[in-house]
């Protein structure tokens, strides 16, 4: 059945903006511009969140963790809990009865607690370890593209964008590669719940799927306590945090394993790889420039993808005091939605921000990986995954096209993340293909 591409919604005024509307989510950039220009601090009438959208304002928020806290549990609960506290209580009971109530994630902590836990991850993502993994990332990218290159077509999302980062983080965590599709089902359930757009029955399904994942990983935790190895998961299980005088509890381990490793280590990179291909097909001159000299342009292209089609559209902070910003009082205890994807297209910060520019100065200046103490710790690895994903493409493929009638280009409904459901493409293979 042929699929009809979505028609972007262009809001006429701010009353038309609803970031829980899946149609608006397909192309939110008109709404972002309206907010940047007319309401840089906007009180969302649907959620009650204070939405901040300008680049310099986001920088201020991200660099001031004392006034803008990550610890939602200290101020009334997460965004989901605030929107429906009764449902949140039901879900917490389900975790308690059948699995483990997840502890606070790394992203949900403030210093010094955050810094103390992050030290475990810092070791795993230090430059020498990323460098040591580079050949594995490269070989995985080429292996995956070789699996479908002779077909002349593929679902770029399912066959390439999804498995590449999942295989890489799975290798770091020490799980078998054949288990990645089961893990993908679990991370999808987690992400859908994060997106705040599920019915109660759908959210219960997500929780039950996460509990399945908990039992899968619990067996690994117990094995690693008896037989430690060289994996990141073994470090998480066994390393004693000096300031705490203990290693992580099971509840804390389940939060870190799902949120900060498998979701954080795969979902955003998957979405960037997917949108990178879409942008290349939509911008053939950029593709010609990129493949003419990948060594010169690939790194800038990867940064432009993250900036233009931010896998993370926005996350949250908690106001720890009354804050004045653009004439608006953000009261103590308010939930602030920092809209990265809006800031990364701010005309005040970037020249021609809606365009890909492979000659852009300071291409890494965007906020796609955050900033400050909560800057994405996996950013160096994500950049290598993106680099090799598109290096393999440049080496193997001459031209690409969307397969007519097979793409709707719809994103998965989600308040915080941006993910293409599928991307069916066809391509012409280079007569003289490159090699690793």
Q: What residue ranges do the domains of the chain occupy?
A: 81-307+346-429
Instruction: Indicate the pairing of strand 315-319 with strand 328-330.
Output: unpaired
**CB-count burial class (<10 Å; 0-12, 13-18, 19+) for 280:** buried
Between 129 and 88, the higher pLDDT residue: 88
pLDDT reported for residue 125: 79
Q: What b/e readout covers 363-380, taking b as 16+ CB neighbours within 10 angstroms?
A: beebbbbbbeebebbbbb
Predicted confidence (pLDDT) per residue in 244-285, tens digit: 999 999 999 999 999 999 999 999 999 999 999 999 999 999
Percent of the chain's residues with pLDDT above 90 = 88
CA distance 24 to 28: 5
Which DSSP helix (H) or strand (E) runs through 369? none
In 156-313, the DSSP E strands lie at none
pLDDT reported for residue 436: 43
**Residue 291 clears pLDDT 80, i.e. is over it:** yes
Which residues are paired to 329 by β-bridges?
324
- Using alpha carbons only, how large is the chain's radius of gyration in Å? 21
Which residues are paired to 241 by β-bridges?
246
**CB-count burial class (<10 Å; 0-12, 13-18, 19+) for 84:** middle
Residues 6+ apart with CB under 8 A from 178: none
Which one of 1.20.140.10, 1.10.10.10, 2.60.120.260, 1.10.630.10 gives the CATH number of domain 81-307+346-429?
A: 1.10.630.10
User: In the structure, what pLDDT confidence band is assigned to residue 1 with cuts at 50, 70 and 90?
Assistant: low
Which DSSP helix (H) or strand (E) runs through 285? helix 284-292
Global confidence as pTM:
0.94
**Residue 433 clears pLDDT 70, i.e. is over it:** no
CA distance 232 to 120: 9
**Residue 434 clears pLDDT 60, i.e. is over it:** no
Predicted confidence (pLDDT) per residue in 202-211, tens digit: 999 999 999 9
> Taking the mean position of all CA atoms in its chain, how far away is CA 49?
21
CA distance 336 to 51: 6
221, 253 in Cβ contact below 8 A?
Answer: yes
**CB-count burial class (<10 Å; 0-12, 13-18, 19+) for 20:** middle
Percent of the chain's residues with pLDDT above 70 = 97
Between 433 and 375, the higher pLDDT residue: 375
């Amino acid at each position: 059945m042929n699929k009809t591409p979505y028609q972007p919604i262009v809001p006429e005024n701010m009353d038309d903006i609803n970031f829980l509307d899946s149609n608006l989510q397909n192309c939110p950039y008109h709404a972002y511009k309206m907010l940047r220009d007319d309401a840089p601090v906007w009180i969302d009438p649907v959620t009650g969140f204070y939405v901040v959208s300008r680049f310099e304002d986001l920088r201020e928020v991200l660099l001031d963790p004392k006034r803008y806290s990550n610890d939602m549990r200290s101020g009334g609960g997460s965004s989901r809990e605030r929107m429906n506290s009764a449902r949140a209580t039901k879900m917490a009971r389900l975790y308690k009865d059948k699995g483990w109530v997840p502890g606070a994630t790394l992203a949900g902590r403030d210093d010094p607690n955050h810094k103390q836990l992050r030290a475990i991850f810092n070791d795993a993502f230090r430059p020498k370890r990323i460098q040591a993994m580079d050949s594995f990332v490269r070989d995985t990218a080429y292996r995956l593209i070789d699996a479908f290159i002779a077909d002349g077509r593929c679902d770029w999302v399912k066959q390439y964008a999804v498995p590449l980062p999942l295989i890489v983080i799975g290798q770091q965590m020490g799980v078998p590669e054949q288990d990645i599709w089961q893990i993908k089902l679990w991370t999808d359930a987690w992400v859908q719940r994060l997106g705040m757009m599920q019915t109660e029955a759908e959210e219960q399904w997500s929780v039950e799927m996460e509990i399945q994942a908990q039992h899968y990983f619990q067996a690994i935790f117990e094995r690693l306590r008896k037989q430690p190895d060289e994996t990141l998961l073994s470090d998480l299980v066994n390393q004693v945090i000096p300031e705490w005088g203990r290693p992580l509890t099971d509840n804390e381990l389940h939060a870190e394993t799902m949120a900060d490793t498998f979701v954080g280590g795969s979902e955003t990179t998957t979405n960037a790889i997917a949108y990178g291909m879409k942008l290349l097909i939509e911008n053939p001159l950029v593709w010609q420039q990129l493949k003419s000299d990948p060594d010169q342009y690939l790194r800038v292209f990867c940064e432009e993808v993250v900036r233009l089609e931010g896998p993370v559209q926005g996350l949250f902070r908690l106001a720890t005091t009354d804050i004045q910003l653009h004439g608006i009082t953000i009261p103590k205890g308010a939930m602030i939605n920092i809209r990265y994807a809006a800031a990364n297209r701010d005309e005040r910060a970037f020249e021609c921000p809606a365009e890909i520019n492979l000659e852009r100065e300071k291409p890494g200046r965007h906020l796609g990986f955050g900033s400050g103490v909560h800057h994405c710790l996996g950013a160096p690895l994500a950049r290598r995954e993106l680099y090799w994903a598109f290096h393999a493409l440049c080496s193997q493929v001459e031209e690409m096209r969307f397969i007519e009638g097979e793409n709707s280009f719809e994103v998965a409904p989600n308040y915080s993340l941006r993910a293409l459901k599928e991307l069916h493409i066809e391509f012409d293979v280079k007569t003289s293909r490159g090699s690793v």
